[in-house]
Structure 1
Amino acid sequence: MIDKNILVGIICLIIGYFLGSLPSGFLAGKWLLNIDLREIGSGSTGATNVLRHIGKKAAVVVFLVDVFKGMIAVLIVKSFQLDSGWEISAGLFSLAGHIWPVWLNWRGGKAVATGLGLFLGLSWPVALASLGIFLACLGLTKIVSLASICASISLPILMFLSFSKDNISYTYLLVALISMVLVIWRHRTNIQRLIKGNEPKIGESR
């Protein structure tokens, strides 16, 4: 017999993946302009590509939906009072669903908004601090990818600083490191353009 908590945990992981795989940006493109975002601009289905090719209102809606995907995946696990390992796993599954959605031949977004949702569910002070760094960097540079990379790098640092010496959650620190690596990896082409000096700013097309 499978332990009840394990069975519930596995179901939560599956729910987390399918929540993350909800293709909000792709659907916005299809519904509003009948375009496939995977074939336009950066090829991402995330809010930034929506902003560039559909508009601000659609981008805000897509961003919020993507945030809630990660947060709800974690909160579902918390509602069943499972341990933090299941919370983190469900959040990572939602990230995986966002990056590799089964509905779109495994081509999705770059996990920034969904990652924010994940950390809002796990540790909202860390998530808000990271969002603050994102907004500050965006305000200074007007480059979304650079702001996203800076915010992701700040995650494990902020997570570590949020713990007292006697209360360090190494699992939370690990998920912050994994999230950082995923975001940076998904922005590898952006990093190449940043190095070359031709990464577009907000308002510029690609």
Structure 2
Amino acid sequence: MTGTFQSTAPLLACGAYLLGSVSSAVLVCRLLGLQDPRRQGSLNPGATNVLRIGGYRAAILTLAGDMAKGFVPVALALAWNLPPHWVGLIGLAALCGHLMPLFFGFRGGKGVATMLGVCLALNPLMGLLQITGWLLLALRFRISSLAALTMALITPVLGYWLAPDYLPYLGVACLALLWRHRRNILDLRRGRENRL
């Protein structure tokens, strides 16, 4: 049985990318009659921007959808006992889909929620620690990007202790999130970053 599942691992990786390419923010905004988040606020199709333009309900739905895109394919890979390198690649494929979605002109979000979903599937304790850290920082400083960047930077550290088999893939994911937040980093240094 495991051998059969391993032979389908490349298909699961492709499916993870396609699932990641479904923009929860755009779909939620369309369903709720809100304007396209890629044309409002920060122009980012993510939960934080949806919160600004559509309120808490829209943001929570977006967050849940983005996390599920990372959680579901990785949970399937683990349930099928795929080797760690395939599990890691499948998680990265889901994240890549969110960052560069095929269905939305490769204009994706910043990957925070999808990465949280991946990490929750890999190790629930790691995911809960990340979410707790994000919430504490966001509530304290009211700056979503600062909380996201800190969460990304602690992910390899948490992975070293809680998910060592996936550490290289978590490191790549961390770098991808830092790259997607490069403008936020500049705005933070200049004191211009938007607050929640």
- TM-score normalised by the chain length of structure 1: 0.89
Q: Does structure 1 conserve the Cα–Cα contact (< 8 Å) formed by 2:6 and 2:82? A: no
1:190 aligns with 2:171: no
Who wins on radius of gyration, i.e. which is larger?
A: 1
Q: Does structure 2 conserve the Cα–Cα contact (< 8 Å) formed by 1:9 and 1:82? A: yes
Q: Secondary structure at the match of 2:17?
A: helix
Letter in 2 for 1:79: A
Match in the other structure for 2:89? 89
Match in the other structure for 1:18? 18
Q: Does structure 2 conserve the Cα–Cα contact (< 8 Å) formed by 1:33 and 1:54? A: no
Q: Secondary structure at the match of 1:10?
A: helix
How far off its partner does 1:5 sit?
4.8
Match in the other structure for 1:180? 174
Structure 1, unpaired ranges of 5+:
164-168
Question: What is the distance in 1 between the residues matched to 2:130 and 2:162?
Answer: 12
Larger helix fraction of residues: 2
**Aligned-CA RMSD value:** 1.5
Q: Deviations over 1:81-129 (max 9, x none)?
A: 2111111111110001111111110001111000000011111111111
Q: Secondary structure at the match of 1:199?
A: coil
Match in the other structure for 1:42? 42
Question: What is the distance in 1 between the residues matched to 2:179 and 2:89?
Answer: 19
Structure 2, unpaired ranges of 5+:
none
Question: What is the distance in 1 between the residues matched to 2:36 and 2:157?
Answer: 37
Match in the other structure for 1:166? none
Question: What is the distance in 2 between the residues matched to 1:197 and 1:70?
Answer: 32
Question: What is the distance in 2 between the residues matched to 1:199 and 1:33?
Answer: 28
Q: Deviations over 1:18-52 (max 9, x none)?
A: 11111110112223235221122222111011001
Q: Does structure 1 conserve the Cα–Cα contact (< 8 Å) formed by 2:160 and 2:167? A: yes
Where in structure 1 do 4 or more consecutive aligned residues deviate above 6 Å? none
1:117 aligns with 2:111: no
Letter in 2 for 1:183: L
